[in-house]
């Protein structure tokens, strides 16, 4: 669990302009990843595939790598 801070949320408007198809919730996830230096996200949501800063890993791919 990571905190949602003002510094993190200040990234959201720029991300919303760059990735207009993402929901506010997805944008918050992306902002959190960027803010915390997280390069990958495990998700079934293919919307994250358009995000250059974060690589989406499908859950089945993640499970197979374990």
Measured CA to CA, the distance from residue 56 to residue 47 in angstroms comes to 9
Instruction: Please tell me the pTM assigned to this model.
Output: 0.91
Beta-strand ranges (E) seen in the chain are 40-42, 55-57
pLDDT digits (tens, 9 = 90+) for 15-61: 999 999 999 999 999 999 999 999 999 999 999 999 999 999 999 99
Query: Which band of pLDDT confidence, cut at 50, 70 and 90, is reported for residue 66?
Result: confident
Most distant CA pair in the chain, distance: 36
């Amino acid at each position: 669990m990571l905190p949602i801070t003002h510094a993190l949320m200040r990234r959201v408007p720029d991300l919303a302009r760059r990735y207009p198809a993402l929901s506010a919730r997805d944008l918050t996830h992306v902002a959190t990843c960027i803010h915390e230096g997280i390069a990958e996200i495990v998700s079934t949501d293919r919307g994250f595939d358009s995000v250059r800063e974060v690589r989406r890993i499908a859950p089945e791919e993640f499970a197979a790598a374990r």
